[in-house]
Chains A and B, each alone.
Chain A
Amino acid sequence: MIQLHQVSYAYSDLSVLERASFRLERGEFGFLVGESGSGKSTLLKLLYRELYPTAGSISVLGQHLSDLTSSTLPFFRRKIGIIFQDSKLLETKTVEQNLEIPQKLIGTKLRILRENVNNLLHQIGLIHHKDSRPSEISMNERQRLTIAMAIINSPLLILADQPTEIFDPNLTLEMLSLLDALNFQGTTVLVTTSDPELPNFYSEKKNTNVKRVFTLKDGQIST
Chain B
Amino acid sequence: MRYKIENALRHFKYAGLTNFLCLIALAFFILILTTFLFNNSSVYKELENKESTPPLLAFLNDTVVEDDARLFANQIQKNHKILYIHYISKQENFKRYEKQFGRLGRWIKDSFSGSNPFPASLEIYVEPSGVSRTSLEKIAYEIESYDKVDDVKLTGHGVISDIVRQTNRITIACIILSGLITLFVIRAAVLKTGRIRVTEIQLLNLIGATRGYLRTPFIIHGMFLGIFGNIIGVFSFYILYCIFTSQLGVLEFIPAYQILGVIVSGGFIGIISGILAQRKCLRLI
Contacts and interface: CB of A to CB of B under 8 A. Distances in A.
A35 interface: no
A105 interface: yes
Contact of B203 (A76, A90, A106): A90
A102 B3 CA distance: 11
A82 B206 contact: yes
A48 B209 contact: no
Contact of A77 (B7, B200, B207): B207
A74 B210 contact: yes
A76 B210 CA distance: 11
Nearest to B211: A70
A86 to B, nearest CB: 10
Contacts, number: 46
A141 B17 CA distance: 34
Contacts of B7: 104
Contacts of B134: none
A48 B207 CA distance: 9
B206 A48 contact: yes
Contacts of B199: 88, 90
B193 to A, nearest CB: 13
A106 B3 CA distance: 10
Interface string B185-215: 0000000000000011011101111110100
A105 B3 CA distance: 8
Contacts of B6: 104
A50 B206 CA distance: 8
Nearest to B3: A104
Contacts of A133: none
* Chief secondary structure at chain B's binding surface: helix
B251 to A, nearest CB: 50
- Which of B3, B7, B202 is the most central at the interface, judged by chain A CB atoms within 10 Å of its CB? B3
Contacts of B203: 88, 90, 101
A75 B208 CA distance: 6
Interface size range of chain A in the complex: 20 to 34
Given A88-B203, A90-B203, A104-B3, A71 B211 contact: yes
Interface in A67-87: 70-71, 74-78, 82, 84
A48 B2 CA distance: 27
A105 B213 contact: yes
B206 A105 contact: no
Interface string B1-12: 011001100000
A107 interface: yes
Interface in B198-235: 199-200, 202-204, 206-211, 213
Contacts of A78: 207-208
A87 to B, nearest CB: 10
26 contacts: A50-B206, A70-B211, A71-B210, A71-B211, A74-B208, A74-B209, A75-B208, A75-B210, A77-B206, A77-B207, A77-B208, A78-B207, A78-B208, A84-B206, A88-B199, A88-B206, A90-B199, A101-B204, A101-B207, A104-B6, A105-B3, A105-B204, A105-B208, A105-B209, A106-B208, A107-B3
Interface of B: 2-3, 6-7, 199-200, 202-204, 206-211, 213
Q: Which 9 pairs across A and B sit closest by C-beta, in order of nearness?
A: A78-B208, A77-B208, A104-B3, A74-B208, A74-B210, A88-B203, A90-B200, A102-B207, A105-B209
